[in-house]
Amino acid sequence: MAKKKYFGTDGIRGKVGDHPMTAEFVLRLGWAVGKVLASQGNNAVLVGKDTRISGYLFESALEAGLSSAGVDCQLLGPMPTPAIAYLTRTFRAAAGIVISASHNPYYDNGLKFFGTDGKKLPDETEFAIEAMLDQAISTVDSAHLGKVARLGDASGRYIEYCKSTFPSGGRLNNMRLVVDSANGATYDIAKRVFRELGAEVIIIGCEPDGLNINKDCGATAPDNLRAHVLLQRADVGIALDGDGDRLIMVDNRGEIVDGDELLYILAKAQSEAGPVEGVVGTLMSNLGLEHALNEMNIPFQRAAVGDRYVMELLEKNHWTLGGESSGHIVLLNQTTTGDGIIAALQALAYMSMTGKSLYELKSGMTRYPQVLINVPLPFKVDLDSYDEIKQAVKAAEEELGESGRVLLRPSGTEPVVRVMVEGRVASDVERICNRIATAVNDAVSA
C-alpha cells in the first residue's frame, strides 16, 4: 500500500504554526474532507475539540473549509474524543472531526477523524482526502454553502451513554474518587458522570486555561494524583489525558495501575461472566500481563504500538478487549474507540461487585521489571543486517529464557532504536539491556 502524505496512525498532528498545523492547511483540509464526503452523498459533519488555545483557530478554519464545499457542520465545543466517536455514530453524521493532540503539550495540535460508524476512517477515504488536497479550492454556489450550528445537548447525551455502561441499578455511593482530567476535554463531563452515579468526587486538573492541558497532570503525569489519593484517603484515583481516550488509575495505597494492569482486571471481570475470547496488547505490553492471562487460559496477542493496530487485530479476531500500557483501553462491547471514562466505570463496577480494592484486584498480575534504552542512529538501518546485534539478542534471549523478553524497535518519530528488555530480576534486566544497547551502538557506528 502507498504511504500517506499527511495521515498518520492517529490522524494528523504537529506543532501549531508549522505545516501541516496551520490555518491555511486546515481550511484546505476541511474543504477536501467536505468534497470527498459530498461525493459520497453525505453532508453533515460533527466537530469537537479539546481545551488547548489553538482549538478556536482550527475550528474556524474547518468551518470555512467544510462550508465552502457545501457541507453542514455541527460544533460540539470541548468534548472527549470518544464522545465525538459516539455522537458521530448516534447522529449518523457523515464524519466526526476531533481537534486535539491528545496527550501532547498545548503548543501541538492535531485532527482525528471518525466515520459514520464511529470508527477511524478507512484507508481509502484518507487517500481520497489526500488526493483532493492537491486540487484547487472551489466554492459551491452561495445557495448551497454549508451551514454551521452548535449542538447544545452533546455533553448530556454522552454522560447518559457513559452511565448506561455501568451495571443497571449499580451505584458508587460508598466510593471516594479523585479525578484528574488533565485540564482537558473531560474537565466537566468526567466529574458529572461519577457524581451522578453516587460517588464522592474530588477534582483536580479541571481548570483549563488553554495552555495547561496535560501540564504536570493527567494520565501522562500521575504523581500529583497519587499524592491527592493518599492525602484524601480516597478509594481510587482516575487520571485521564487531554482528550479523554487514555486512563491510568491509582489504588488506595497510592500505587499506579497502568494500562496493562487495567487490561488484566477487566479481563478477569469479564471471565467471571463467561469465557473471554482473547485480549490484544501491543509489542510494549508487559510480559507479566501475558503470563497472568495465560494462567486464566485467556489467549493474548500483540499488535504494533498504536490504538489503530489494536483495533485492527481486535476486529480481525472478533475479540472485544484490548489496549496499551499507556492507558488506551478499547472495549468493543461498549464503544468503538478507546474511552477513559467508560474503562474506569468497568473497573469501578468490578470493585463494587467484588467488594475488593483496586490493589487487591490487580494483585494476580506481577509486573516484570522493564528497561528501555533509546540508541541514537546516524542514519536509517536494517537491524537484521548486523550479525553482532543478532548475536547479542540471541544471547540475551537464551539467558532470560521464558521468563523474559527482548524487543528492538526503530522509532517512527525519532532517529533512534528502542531497546527494551523485560525479566524477573531488575538487575539482570538492566545489565542485559545495556549490553544490547552497546552492541547496537558499536555495530552501527562501525
Burial of 401 (0-12, 13-18, 19+ CB in 10 A): exposed
Looking at residue 369, the DSSP 8-state letter turns out to be P
Could you tell me the pLDDT band of residue 1, with boundaries at 50, 70 and 90?
A: low
Domain 12-153 and domain 161-271+333-362, same fold? Reply is yes
What's the pTM value of the predicted model, to 2 decimals? 0.93
Query: How far apart are the C-alpha atoms of 396 and 433, rounded to whole Å?
Result: 9
Q: Which of 54, 68, 102, 285 is catalytic?
A: 102
- For residue 413, the model assigns a pLDDT of 62
- The yes-or-no verdict on residue 51 having pLDDT over 80 is yes
Kindly state the average pLDDT of the residues 27-55. Answer: 90
- For residue 379, the model assigns a pLDDT of 76
Contacts for 367 with CB less than 8 Å, ≥ 6 apart: 260, 261, 286, 288
- The yes-or-no verdict on residue 308 having pLDDT over 80 is yes
- The yes-or-no verdict on residue 282 having pLDDT over 70 is yes
- The yes-or-no verdict on residue 412 having pLDDT over 70 is no
Q: What is the CA radius of gyration of the chain?
A: 23
Could you tell me the pLDDT band of residue 258, with boundaries at 50, 70 and 90?
A: very high
- For residue 42, the model assigns a pLDDT of 64
Superfamily of domain 370-445: Alpha-D-phosphohexomutase, C-terminal domain (3.30.310.50)
Looking at residue 383, the DSSP 8-state letter turns out to be G
**Strands (E) located in 100-210:** 108-115, 148-150, 176-180, 200-204
- How many whole angstroms from its chain centre is CA 82? 10
Cell of 184: 482537558
Taking alpha carbons only, the member of 342, 409, 27, 351 closest to residue 194 is 342
Contacts for 108 with CB less than 8 Å, ≥ 6 apart: 13, 14, 15, 16, 21, 101
Kindly state the average pLDDT of the residues 268-272. Answer: 96
Q: What is the pLDDT of residues 226-251, one digit of tens each?
A: 999 999 999 999 999 999 999 999 99
- For residue 48, the model assigns a pLDDT of 98
- For residue 10, the model assigns a pLDDT of 83
- How many whole angstroms from its chain centre is CA 260? 13
Could you tell me the pLDDT band of residue 446, with boundaries at 50, 70 and 90?
A: confident
Q: In the predicted model, what is the mean pLDDT of the chain?
A: 94
Domain ranges of the chain: 12-153, 161-271+333-362, 370-445
Q: What is the pLDDT of residues 54-76, one digit of tens each?
A: 999 999 999 999 999 999 999 99
Q: What percent of the chain has pLDDT over 90?
A: 88
**Strands (E) located in 7-138:** 12-15, 44-49, 72-78, 95-99, 108-115
Cell of 263: 487490561
- For residue 381, the model assigns a pLDDT of 77
- The yes-or-no verdict on residue 327 having pLDDT over 80 is yes
Taking alpha carbons only, the member of 135, 107, 117 closest to residue 29 is 135
Kindly state the average pLDDT of the residues 26-39. Answer: 92
- The yes-or-no verdict on residue 283 having pLDDT over 80 is yes
Reported CATH class of domain 161-271+333-362: alpha beta
Could you tell me the pLDDT band of residue 41, with boundaries at 50, 70 and 90?
A: low
67 is an active site residue: no
Q: What is the pLDDT of residues 342-399, one digit of tens each?
A: 999 999 999 999 999 999 999 999 999 999 999 998 877 788 889 999 999 999 999 9
| Distances, alpha carbon 309 to alpha carbons 95, 198, 267, 306, 420, in Å | 21, 36, 19, 6, 20
Q: What is the pLDDT of residues 79-126, one digit of tens each?
A: 999 999 999 999 999 999 999 999 999 999 999 999 999 999 988 999
How is domain 12-153 classified at the CATH fold level? Alpha-D-Glucose-1,6-Bisphosphate; Chain A, domain 3 (3.40.120)
